[in-house]
Structure 1
Amino acid sequence: MPNSICTTCGTQYVDSDQVPNSCLICADERQYIGHSGQQWTTAEKLRQTNRTAIKFKEPGLIGIGIEPQFAIGQRALLLQTPHGNVLWDCISLLDESVVQAINAWGGIKAIVISHPHYYSNVVEWSRAFGDVPVYLHADDRQWVMRPDKSIVFWSGATLDLLPGVTLIHCGGHFAGGAVLHWAEGADGQGVLLSGDIIQVVADRKHVSFMYSYPNFVPLSASAVGYILSAVRPYSYRRIYGAFWGAVVQDDGMAVVNQSAQRYLTAIRE
């Protein structure tokens, strides 16, 4: 029986002989049902129409996306460390070429997802690399559409995943929204992998914060304040957002602080 994948958000559901009536992720007010109505595909069909794209971002960090763009369009990031590799966020497509490439780079020790919009095909990714653990924040437990023994629900403010690799709970966009701090990135000056919990915007000189991006619902001042306090203890020069090209190259800490003040001023006025 196939595992249906929503074509709007890319989330894979449990196997069933019938497709779901609608995608619960897209029916939520932060997302939307596609303009042509609810549409589904499968991993097998996706492998026939799309392919994985790999791009080297900096030493120790490799981007993995889908071409042509599918669903929300995010790309995953493979973080290489001396203690094992971590896949940050995920994509709906998994093909043999990317499995072979990642295995050549040392495989995957753990998978971490920033928030439910990027859960995608994470169970198949885990199984392809030896049932590696998938870390999801417990506050987003309700949004798991394909439960699996590989899923580890973490809680609290932070999780030290590997030496120099820390998950930070930020909330905001989703209750369990998280970012990843890589201390050795950017030549030891630190990197923040932010998904769209802290969204790198088009000018790549600022970031922003939203409850819903497609429906333009802003976050409250208190939610943005919580995000700022969560990342304040960490040093980082560079920020990688959720999409190809969404990178703040320098002064990442200052960019977050200045962007937050700009945002707070706008919503207060």
Structure 2
Amino acid sequence: MSGGVGIGQHAKILVTEAGNLMVDVPAYIDRAAVDAVMRLGGLAGIIASHPHMYGAQSAWAEACGGADGPVPVYISEPDAGWLARRPANTIVWSDSLTPLPGLPGSPAVTASQPGGHFPGSVVVHFTGQDGVGVLLAGDTVGVARDRKWATFMRSFPNYLPLSGAVAERIAGHLDRYDYERLYDNFSGVIASEASAVVHRSARRHADWAEGRMDHLT
């Protein structure tokens, strides 16, 4: 789901046998969009990758809820201070989370907090229908325009990079996952060998950020 409202983020919906999870929400909500989500089976939860994505999450949770109330909204503890509202369906979590359990033939969906873009920035990992590991990176890892490299930014619109140490920390954190594909917060996709791309990109980022390539400037 994408559009021109807000910063044009692309919401992702993971459809699994254990339920559906929306990773980040569109900045706009209307009846047609909610109906489209409900036709997929509704939502078991919503998870935000970072505070820029909090936006309309309470409205989505309420619209996709049922008799038990709004669906759970999972918020990374280090970033919880950015919440404007904290309704009862808000679940603040730390370190790691399993928002959707594994079932026979359906591995669990997991999340963790590598930080970087925000102190509590979140990534979500799952296994695709083809059996390949997939990472939803939000703005923690940005995909470069040629799709062969990634970048690590504190602020994308202001072109403010993270330090080399933080870029390498993020790459190391992501080693807990087996992932072949990576999707960023917009239209960026690394379709294969994503883990290797992230590692070589972190090394390159560190080399430039820490001055080891200054002889080329």
Q: d(CA) in 1 for partners of 2:71 and 2:132? A: 29
Could you tell me which amino acid in structure 1 is paired with residue 128 of structure 2?
A: G
Matched-pair contact (CA < 8 Å) for 1:114–1:179: yes
- Alignment equivalent of 2:64, drawn from 126, 129, 133: 129
Q: d(CA) in 2 for partners of 1:105 and 1:86? A: 11
Matched-pair contact (CA < 8 Å) for 2:164–2:202: no
The answer to whether 1:65 aligns with 2:10 is no
Task: Identify if the C-alpha distance between structure 1 residues 186 and 250 changes in structure 2 by more than 3 Å, giving closer, same or farther.
Answer: farther
The answer to whether 1:194 aligns with 2:137 is yes
Q: d(CA) in 1 for partners of 2:117 and 2:64? A: 29
Q: d(CA) in 1 for partners of 2:87 and 2:169? A: 31
Give the equivalent residue in structure 1 for 2:77.
Answer: 138
Give the equivalent residue in structure 2 for 1:31.
Answer: none
Q: d(CA) in 1 for partners of 2:10 and 2:143? A: 14
Task: Identify if the C-alpha distance between structure 1 residues 186 and 82 changes in structure 2 by more than 3 Å, giving closer, same or farther.
Answer: closer
Aligned residues: CA RMSD: 1.2
Matched-pair contact (CA < 8 Å) for 1:79–1:87: yes
Could you tell me which amino acid in structure 2 is paired with residue 201 of structure 1?
A: A
Distance apart, 1:171 and its partner CA: 0.5
Per-residue CA deviations over 1:167-195 (Å, capped at 9, x if unaligned) read: 0211101011010011x216111100011
Distance apart, 1:134 and its partner CA: 0.5
Which runs of 5 or more structure 1 residues have no equivalent in the other structure? 1-63
Q: How many residues are paired up?
A: 201
Give the equivalent residue in structure 2 for 1:120.
Answer: 55
The answer to whether 1:179 aligns with 2:123 is yes
Distance apart, 1:149 and its partner CA: 1.6
Task: Identify if the C-alpha distance between structure 1 residues 208 and 170 changes in structure 2 by more than 3 Å, giving closer, same or farther.
Answer: same
TM-score, length basis structure 1? 0.72
Matches within 5 A, 1:67-86: 69-86=4-21
Q: d(CA) in 2 for partners of 1:92 and 1:76? A: 9
Distance apart, 1:150 and its partner CA: 1.6
TM-score, length basis structure 2? 0.89
Per-residue CA deviations over 1:200-254 (Å, capped at 9, x if unaligned) read: 121111111011111222212332232122110211111111113x111111111
Matched-pair contact (CA < 8 Å) for 2:165–2:206: no
Q: d(CA) in 1 for partners of 2:99 and 2:75? A: 12
Structure 1 runs (4+) deviating above 6 angstroms are none
Identical-pair percentage: 38
Which runs of 5 or more structure 2 residues have no equivalent in the other structure? 103-107, 212-217
Could you tell me which amino acid in structure 2 is paired with residue 132 of structure 1?
A: V
Task: Identify if the C-alpha distance between structure 1 residues 210 and 186 changes in structure 2 by more than 3 Å, giving closer, same or farther.
Answer: farther
- Alignment equivalent of 2:40, drawn from 105, 116, 122: 105
The answer to whether 1:154 aligns with 2:93 is yes
Give the equivalent residue in structure 2 for 1:203.
Answer: 146
Task: Identify if the C-alpha distance between structure 1 residues 233 and 250 changes in structure 2 by more than 3 Å, giving closer, same or farther.
Answer: same
